[in-house]
């Protein structure tokens, strides 16, 4: 099931006996674990009804689940990083016999226990225990939030702080800072404090105080370059290099930005609206509008040529024909030359 289904079931009081929590969205996964723990083993004697195990052998897990809860209806048993669910992890027990033991036990798990297998990232779906949990438990998948879910999460989190935020400001926040919920949670706290007595958090607030991901910094540098501000773009490049970013990665992202501007221009010419273009490219509408504004100064052929220059430079560096030192700068100057109406510098 998706994490949204899990939270809905938990809210209605529907708690299963055995779960596997897996997926790349660690913040939501940890939040779900905390919510389930509080639901099952909250109260005055929470510590006495909460057992946390790391890659236990079956006997240790079963002993914990069989222990009667103290002045509570259920005991919470958390199993972290079981080797029976992860590829290539060493273990101090025989996996085949361990899975057989758990397969038999989980079918008759007592009502007094809730067992949660928790793994960082994705579990190995080829493992036998995974298949057992698929049949006898509930697998909850925590995948990165899509744009709509992310905007809702940001708005909901700010609402707890007594603040409101527009969809456009939400989009600018995740586009600028990235999509990691742990980082976004910190940025939301900063935004709430920065807004002070104001009820609404604005796009200007986001621009003023929020961190910028490397991807956004490269986007900003590329937009500056394509806008014809060569000196400023090169200063931005110097800052990125001082921060330890690699030229080859920056060249690849610059090429992607050139392609996105070209795609946006082509789709707009074909009659696509901003929302449709944003959906196709996976970027917010404000970034589409910015790309289309930049695209006005180039023909479709010139945009294709700039993307080709980036791709060619990347290939020559990867194949050892050119050094990465200077190649990115050369491509940037060639793009500036195209802006000025020349083909090459």
Q: DSSP readout, 198-245?
A: -SEE-HHHHHHH----HHHHHHHHHHHHHTT-HHHHHHHHHHHHHTT-
Band of residue 113 on the pLDDT scale cut at 50, 70, 90: very high
> How many Cα atoms within 13 Å fall on the side-chain side of residue 307?
15
Structure tokens belonging to residue 80: 């972290």
pLDDT, tens only, 294-339: 999 899 999 999 999 999 999 999 999 988 888 999 999 999 888 7
pLDDT tens digits, one per residue of 134-179: 999 999 999 988 888 899 999 999 999 999 999 999 999 998 898 8
Q: Taking 90 as the threshold, does the pLDDT of residue 285 lie above it?
A: no
pLDDT of res. 224: 92
Structure tokens at 98: 């361990």
pLDDT tens per residue across span 223-234: 999 988 999 999
pLDDT for residue 339: 78
Report the candidate in 35, 42, 44 with the shortest Cα–Cα distance to residue 74: 42
Position 41 pLDDT exceeds 90: no
Quick one: pLDDT at residue 107?
87
Which tokens hold the place of 103? 């397969």
The CATH architecture to which 214-339 belongs is Up-down Bundle (1.20)
φ/ψ of 54, rounded to 5, equals -120, 115
Token duo for residue 312: 């060619």
> How confident is residue 115, by pLDDT bands cut at 50, 70 and 90?
very high
Q: Which CATH number fits domain 3-141: 3.40.50.1000, 3.40.50.300, 3.40.50.410, 2.40.50.140?
A: 3.40.50.300
Contact yes or no for 136/100 (Cβ under 8 A) = no
229 vs 45, residue with greater confidence: 229
Domain limits, the chain: 3-141, 147-209, 214-339
pLDDT, tens digit (0-9, with 9 covering 90-100), for 172-224? 999 889 888 888 999 999 999 999 999 999 999 999 999 888 888 988 999 99
Which residue reads 């940025």 in tokens?
A: 187
Could you report the per-residue pLDDT of 55-93, keeping only the tens digit for each? 998 999 999 999 998 888 899 999 998 989 987 666 677
- Quote the pTM value: 0.70
How far are the Cα atoms of 119, 126, 194, 300, 341 from residue 228, in angstroms, in the given order?
48, 52, 33, 17, 11
Strand partners, 53: 79
Domain 147-209 has CATH 1.50.10.10: no
d(CA 124, CA 119): 10
147-209 and 214-339 agree in CATH topology: no
Rounded distance, CA 236 to CA 106, Å?
57
Confidence check: pLDDT of 21 > 60 = yes
Secondary structure of 251-316 in HEC code, one letter for each residue? HHHHHHHHHHHHHHHHHHHCCCCHHHHHHHHCCCHHHHHHHHHHHCCCCHHHHHHHHHHHHHHHHH
Q: pLDDT tier at 94 (50, 70, 90 boundaries)?
A: confident
Q: How many CB atoms lie within 10 A of CB 283?
A: 19
Place of tokens 């696509």: 272
Would the pLDDT of 344 be above 90?
A: no
């Amino acid at each position: 099931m998706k994490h949204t289904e899990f939270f809905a079931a938990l809210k209605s009081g529907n708690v299963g006996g055995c779960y596997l929590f897996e997926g790349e969205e660690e913040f939501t996964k940890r939040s779900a674990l905390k919510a389930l723990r509080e639901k099952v083993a909250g109260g005055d004697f929470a510590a006495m009804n909460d057992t946390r195990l790391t890659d236990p052998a079956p006997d240790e897990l079963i002993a914990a689940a069989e222990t009667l809860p103290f002045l509570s209806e259920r005991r919470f048993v958390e199993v972290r990083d079981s080797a029976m669910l992860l590829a290539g992890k060493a273990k101090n027990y025989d996996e085949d016999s361990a899975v057989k033991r758990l397969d038999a036990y989980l079918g008759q798990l007592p009502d007094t226990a809730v067992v949660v297998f928790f793994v960082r990232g994705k579990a190995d779906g080829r493992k036998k225990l995974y298949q057992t949990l698929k049949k006898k438990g509930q697998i909850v998948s925590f995948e990165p939030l899509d744009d709509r879910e992310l905007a809702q999460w940001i708005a909901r989190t700010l609402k707890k702080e007594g603040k409101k935020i527009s969809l456009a400001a939400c989009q600018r926040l995740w586009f600028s800072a990235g999509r990691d919920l742990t980082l976004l949670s910190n940025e939301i706290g900063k935004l709430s404090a920065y807004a002070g007595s104001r009820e609404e958090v604005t796009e200007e607030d986001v621009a003023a105080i929020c961190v910028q991901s490397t991807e956004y910094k490269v986007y900003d540098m590329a937009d500056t370059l394509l806008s014809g501000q060569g000196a400023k773009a090169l200063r931005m490049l110097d800052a990125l290099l001082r921060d330890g970013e690699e030229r080859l990665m920056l060249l690849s992202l610059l090429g992607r930005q050139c392609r996105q501007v070209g795609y946006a221009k082509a789709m707009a010419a074909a009659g696509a609206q901003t929302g449709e273009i944003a959906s196709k490219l996976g970027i917010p509408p404000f970034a589409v509008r910015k790309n289309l504004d930049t695209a006005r100064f180039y023909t479709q052929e010139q945009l294709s040529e700039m993307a080709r220059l980036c791709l060619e430079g990347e290939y020559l560096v990867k194949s050892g024909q050119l050094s990465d030192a200077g190649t990115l700068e050369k491509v940037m100057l060639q793009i500036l030359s195209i802006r000025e109406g020349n083909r090459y510098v």
